Amino acid sequence: MDERMRIKENDHVRGNREAELVLIEYADFQCPYCARAHKALTSLQQQHGDRVALVYRHLPLTDLHPFAQPAAEAAEAAGAQGKFWEMHDALFENQGMLDEDALPAIAANLQLDAQRFRSEFEGGQHRARVESDVQEAHAAGASGTPTFFINGERYQGDSDHASLAKAIEGALGRG
């Protein structure tokens, strides 16, 4: 398997790092298809529990979504305080309201250290991490969002619940 498709030490992983199914998603917080996938994946992971690990990697499509890059950096700033997944969820749940004012407000709702968040975010402290994910996405052949890899294999289907459920259940030997 391509090393890019394995869970790395610094990956954001929801679920069991030793799960039998690893789904890597390259995504953009402003992408409506990623938001649809977020809802589906949340439900599917609850259904399959420790058998599935979700890995989130950044691929902000800055030419289409002006707040995708800042949202990715905000998620990393929240992650530095142990709340990546809380910020991830909040960004998708508030996708329609993403703008410059929304990110600090979301951070405040998550009870992050506001001064630290602002300092890291405004200082671009997490930009390199996001850019590293983008370069890796491009090297793996991902140019649009969401792009999924299931156990190292590129998934070509849709991001709706039924399509993702079929792919996950098939990979788990239930399809």
Summary mean pLDDT of the chain: 94
Residue range 63-77, pLDDT digits in tens: 999 999 999 999 999
- Sheet of 147-150: strand order equals 12-15, 52-58, 21-27, 147-150, 153-155
CB atoms within 10 A of CB 93: 13
12-15 vs 52-58, strand pairing mode: antiparallel
User: pLDDT value at position 142?
Assistant: 95
Q: How confident is the model at residue 1 (pLDDT cuts 50, 70, 90)?
A: low
CATH of domain 3-171: 3.40.30.10
Are β-strands 21-27 and 52-58 bridged in parallel, bridged antiparallel, or unpaired? parallel
Q: Is the pLDDT of residue 46 over 60?
A: yes
**What letter would DSSP give residue 2?**
-
| pLDDT at site 99 | 86
Percent of the chain past pLDDT 90, that is, above it, reads 92
